[in-house]
Amino acid sequence: MRNIFIAGLLTITGCMISPVQVMGGTPVVGEVRQSLSPYWKFRIDPYQQGEARGWHRSSHAVAGWDSGEVGNAYRLFLNDKLIISVDCGNYPEEFDITDMVRPGQENRLAVEVDNSLTYGAYWGWGGIRRPVEIRYRPAFHVLHQAVTPEVNLSRNSARVRTSVTLRNASAAVARMVLQQEIFFRNRRVAVTSRSVDLPGSSSPVVMLDLALDSAQVKLWHFDHPELYTSRITLKSEARDIYVIEDRFGLRKIELVGHQFRLNGEPVRLAGFNWVADDRVTGSTLPAHRFREDIDLMKQAGANMARLSHRPLPSDVMDYLDEKGMLVISEFNIWPPFMNDRTPEGRRYATGSIRKSMHTHHR
């Protein structure tokens, strides 16, 4: 495939915005979103002349831009200034541009992406894989939660430990209440809360701990994938400031000799090497495509899948969990800049693995 460079422009007027991709949580309260999907104007730039001609500048004409495919590497500009340059995508990224926008004026967001970066077994589809959104959050909000259940099979009980990462984007110190509720089939089965102090311009991590007794525990299994919902609420003076939700299952996985055990039961794993691409939609993974793939694997008797080779979005992982599929999630280290053989590669690999944990940890 030819290397394809594409530049896209988006004009936003009158905004006080912070575009972020929430990792490890679906916001319920406290966030306003605006999809950018219908507004991009793209043009193919195979000879890389766009930047020299100032395509990303506010004064550049945007008429006649067409849609096309792009690749893993990209650069993002806001109001003529470079925000970030990313060598390899595949992860949800967030960029806080609160201090860069011009309230009440025209703001121009530009992205340049290409598929010239090739490595390993990847096919250079190109393209914006997932929706891009402008998201407004209050100064005090929840970044993500990581739920880690521990199941006691002999007592049929469970302990649910949750790591919650908060954010105070203001300079002021604030005292708030952090609450966690656990729901099963829309019924609340457990709740806890605690006071938290948020230093100015900080992202503290708070641990929460809940116990579920035998009457509250329903184990996740291939044949009956029971799921719970963890709702995290950040409160100020009894008012809900920010709320996120995540689903998770209660299960215990063990390797005993040559046996793989799920909830104490020896099971035989059978599955597929799932390359989540499509001849029509490429690597964009619309809901109808990934759901049909997962449903077909399940109908064929599969109970697990190897996710080749990139991390998959949270909605895909949620559907795998809902259908009763275990997964092997990967982080590839084919190219030198992504492995641990050099300090630069080690930093890149460490950061990417953390992103995977934030996206996939349930």
pLDDT bracket for residue 25 (50, 70, 90) = low
Instruction: Find where tokens 């422009």 sit.
Output: 9
The ranges of the chain annotated as CATH 2.60.120.260 are: 1-24+31-136
User: What pLDDT does 248 receive?
Assistant: 95
- Residue 309: asked if its preceding bond is cis (omega within 30°), the reply is yes
Q: How does 313-322 read in b/e, with b if 16+ C-beta sit within 10 Å?
A: bbebbbbbbe
User: What CATH superfamily is the domain 140-248?
Assistant: Immunoglobulins (2.60.40.10)
Up-side HSE of residue 25: CA atoms within 13 Å toward CB?
A: 28
Of 334 and 155, the structure prediction assigns the larger pLDDT to 155
Q: What percent of the chain has pLDDT over 70?
A: 73
Each residue's pLDDT tens digit, 98-134: 888 888 888 887 877 767 766 666 666 665 777 777 7
Q: The domain 1-24+31-136: what is its CATH number?
A: 2.60.120.260
CATH number 3.40.50.300 given to 253-360: no
Of 279 and 126, the structure prediction assigns the larger pLDDT to 279
Of 44 and 75, the structure prediction assigns the larger pLDDT to 75
Instruction: Find where tokens 């991709």 sit.
Output: 21
The ranges of the chain annotated as CATH 3.20.20.80 are: 253-360
Count of beta carbons in the 10 Å neighbourhood of residue 29: 13
Rg (CA), the chain: 22
Each residue's pLDDT tens digit, 199-257: 999 999 999 999 999 999 999 999 999 999 999 999 998 899 999 999 999 999 999 99
Spell out the residues 6+ positions from residue 273 whose beta carbon is closer than 8 angstroms to its own.
Answer: 305, 306, 308
CB 293 within 8 A of CB 276: yes
Of 333 and 54, the structure prediction assigns the larger pLDDT to 333
The ranges of the chain annotated as CATH 2.60.40.10 are: 140-248
User: What pLDDT does 24 receive?
Assistant: 43
* pLDDT exceeds 70 at position 62: no
